[in-house]
Amino acid sequence: MKKLFAVLLAMVMLVSAASAMAITVGFSQIGQESDWRTANTDNMIAAVEAEGWTMQYDDAQQQQAKQVAALRSFITQGVDYILFTGVVSTGWDEVLKEVNEAEIPLILMDRMPDCIDAIEYAGAFGGDFVEEGRRMAYWTVNYLASVGRGDEEVNVVILEGTTGADAATGRTNGINEVLVNYPNLVVLDSQSGNFTPAEGQAVMESFLKAYDKIDVLLAENDGMAMGAIEAIKAAGLVPSVDIIIVGCDAVKTAYDAIVAGEMNATIECTPLYASAVIPLIKALEAGETFGRDVIHPDEFCYDAEGGIPYTADGEALSIKVDDRVGGWPY
Ligand code: AHR
């Protein structure tokens, strides 16, 4: 009996040691430009701390130079893992090669660097930004058809995200790739609102001054859509009625705006990567390795009524906001 107890005790001690591995994760975050970003930061910090690991978090305030400095600081500190998403796509070659030379496993999350094929990384999880842009456009085309406006000439403006970020260029490319096949949807203008509500509002104000008739706003994140809604109201127009508004991210403010009848739809881009990153780190600790695929999460589209096709094959239908599985936690 005594022997059995000793064996059990040793096993418990081994398991506790494994779950309390002294791991430090250096997380180079872009900034705090949106509700999406806040949810992403909170999700990662909470998950790392819940494991009993240490998070070295750095908020670069949208500045690439600060991210480069943070990555170098993580190398100097000798963190065990580096979690990275870059404010823009280019300019990371040198510092990410330094991370590789330091042999610190690099985990890419959210936005991908354009040098991805030239570097080593332990895992990569990010949004399919081109597909998200396509979905914004398909939802719009099919919604217009559903309300009998499929053949009408409609004027479209686009609020782009941060210039040089793949989340912005991908969505813009996806939107334009689809809209080119629908010549009755005329893109009047497409400018960056830098993924922030304030800049989205300012750019929408300038669009409203420049163009007499805007029928559709495609905002590459929900935050910019929120700013634009303020600009539309200030111009004496009714958001979602006078101007159809489609956002991206599926954050709680978009839910509130759709329920309030001030926004039409949002395409999901999840910020919750902890459920992928934490198991990856545990698997790496156990000696496993992974391929070079960038893993995209399953994502959906939400609107007031549901039932609008939003993919090229017409098979995926938008989900009514109140029917979202898990509700609107961020
Ligand atoms: O990279 C993801 C994008 O960045 C989100 O759509 C946006 O809200 C965030 O700022």
Pocket of ligand 1 (CB under 6 A): 33-34, 36-37, 110-111, 167, 195, 221, 223, 248-249, 269
Residues 86 and 231 placed together within one structural domain of the fold: no
Please report, for the domain that includes residue 118, its CATH number: 3.40.50.2300
Which atom in ligand 1 lies closest to the alpha carbon of residue 165? 1
In the sheet with 265-268, reading across from the earlier edge strand, the strands are 185-192, 154-160, 216-219, 244-249, 265-268, 301-303, 319-320
Whether 291 is in a domain gets the answer no
The total number of structural domains that make up the chain: 2
Q: Tell which one of 41, 67, 110 to mutate to probe ligand 1, the residue whose CB is within 8 A of the most ligand atoms.
A: 110
Whether residues 119 and 133 fall in one domain: no
**278 and 262 both lie in a single domain:** no
Determine which residue's CA is closest to atom 2 belonging to ligand 1: 167
How many Cβ atoms are within 10 Å of 118's Cβ, its own excluded?
Answer: 12
User: Is residue 75 domain-shared with residue 155, that is, in the same domain?
Assistant: no
Residues 22 and 96 grouped into a single domain: yes
Gap between the terminal Cα atoms of the chain: 51
Q: What's the CA-to-centroid distance between 195 and ligand 1, angstroms?
A: 7
Q: Is residue 139 part of a domain?
A: yes
CA 209 to ligand 1 centroid distance, Å: 27
Say if residue 93 is in the same domain as residue 217: no
Backbone φ and ψ for 86, nearest 5 degrees, come out as -100, 140
- Please list, in sequence order, all residues whose beta carbon lies within 8 angstroms of the beta carbon of residue 296, skipping any fewer than 6 positions away: 125, 126, 127, 128, 131
Distance 248 CA to ligand 1 centre (A): 8
**Rounded distance between C-alpha atoms, residue 164 and residue 129, angstroms:** 13
| pLDDT by position in tens, the chain (length 330) | 344 334 334 433 434 444 558 999 999 999 999 999 999 999 999 999 999 999 999 999 999 999 999 999 999 999 999 999 999 999 999 999 999 999 999 999 999 999 999 999 999 999 999 999 999 999 999 999 999 999 999 999 999 999 999 999 999 999 999 999 999 999 999 999 999 999 999 999 999 999 999 999 999 999 999 999 999 999 999 999 999 999 999 999 999 999 999 999 999 999 999 999 999 999 999 999 999 999 999 999 999 999 999 999 999 999 999 999 999 999
Residue 322's alpha-carbon distances to 159, 219, 229, 259, in angstroms, are 26, 22, 21, 9
Largest CA distance in the chain: 86
Question: Is 328 domain-assigned?
Answer: no
Instruction: Please tell me the distance from the alpha carbon of residue 180 to that of residue 103, in angstroms, as a whole number.
Output: 45
Ligand 1 atom closest to 166 (CA): 1
Looking at the fold, whether 305 and 192 belong to one and the same domain comes out as: yes
Q: Is residue 295 part of a domain?
A: no
Residues 185 and 74 in one domain: no
Query: What residue numbers bound the domain in which 244 lies?
Result: 129-269+300-323
Check whether residue 136 and residue 118 sit in a common domain.
Answer: no
Cβ neighbors of 21 (< 8 A, separation 6 or more) are 52, 53, 285
Pocket probe for ligand 1: among 108, 195, 220, 294, the residue whose CB has the most ligand atoms within 8 Å is: 195
CB-based contacts of 175, cutoff 8 Å, min separation 6? 133, 134, 136, 137, 158, 218
Q: 119 and 201 share a domain? A: no
Atom of ligand 1 nearest to the CA of 220: 6
Say if residue 102 is in the same domain as residue 189. Answer: no
Distance 1 CA to ligand 1 centre (A): 58
| Centre of ligand 1 from the C-alpha of residue 221, in Å | 6
Cα–Cα distance between 187 and 146 in angstroms, integer? 21
Angle of the 252-259 helix axis to the 222-234 helix axis, nearest 10: 40
Residue 290 lies in a domain: no
Does residue 294 fall inside a structural domain?
Answer: no
pTM: 0.94
Whole-number pLDDT of residue 20: 57
301 forms beta bridges with: 267
Tell me whether residue 292 is in a domain: no
Q: Is 280 found in the same domain as 262?
A: no
Does 293 reside within a domain?
no
Are β-strands 123-125 and 106-109 bridged in parallel, bridged antiparallel, or unpaired? parallel
